[in-house]
Amino acid sequence: MLTSKQNELLTFINHRLGETGVSPSFEEMKEALDLKSKSGVHRLINALEERQFIRRLPNRARALEVLRMPELMRKAPPALVAVPKKPIPQAANDVLEIPLHGRIAAGVPIEAMEGQTSLSVPAALLGPGEHYALEVSGDSMVEAGILDGDYALIQRTESAREGQIVVALIDEMEATLKYFRREGTMIRLDPANRAYDPQRYSPAQVRVQGRLAGLLRRY
């Protein structure tokens, strides 16, 4: 069962594909659904993708394919529900605005979430889920290619698998970007710089706030 907005967006995408063979842009989808921001479109796209109504074509920021339509719409006019057979050309990248929450340490932990502005990010760099960005401070993750001044793109989550790079909040006060590992009954946060030592904490001291989804570097 889709929400009214999900259903409206799916119909709009399918209609546009049937007419032109090209996915609508995020701006066009925002205007068609009368949404305030592209982040709302991004959430709807993720929901439709999770429910397997659409899929994103690899290496194409705007290329979407309709896999199926809701049962109640199968009696609609063919022009609205036919999935196009012609190839979808590559289009220019869409850009999303995601929250920028201050700085995060890639070294000694410093305070994160200092304030909130926004950062423009190519949609192709983000997968499903909710995201935010943090400016990296320090050099403890340089061997993982994460440099001082980079913007870490973080997928919001409260869990992590062994070996993932995460934002870890320590003692509800300070946050750091490190590899997440378990060592017996302890949590070990590993740097990617041999000049730094691993940090060990009890599970009660560490709260995962997200995992690294990508990097943005400005020159």
What value, to the nearest 5°, has the Cα angle with vertex 190 and ends 185 and 196? 125
Its pTM stands at: 0.55
Q: Does domain 95-216 sit in CATH 1.20.1740.10?
A: no
Class of domain 4-81: mainly alpha
One-letter identity of residue 78: P
**61-97 pLDDT tens trace:** 557 888 888 765 544 444 444 444 444 344 445 778 8
Nearest Cα neighbor of 179 from 171, 168, 170 is 168
Under the banding of pLDDT at 50, 70 and 90, the label for residue 110 is very low
Collapsing DSSP to helix, strand or coil, 200 comes out as strand
Active site residues: 140, 178
Report domain extents, the chain. Answer: 4-81, 95-216
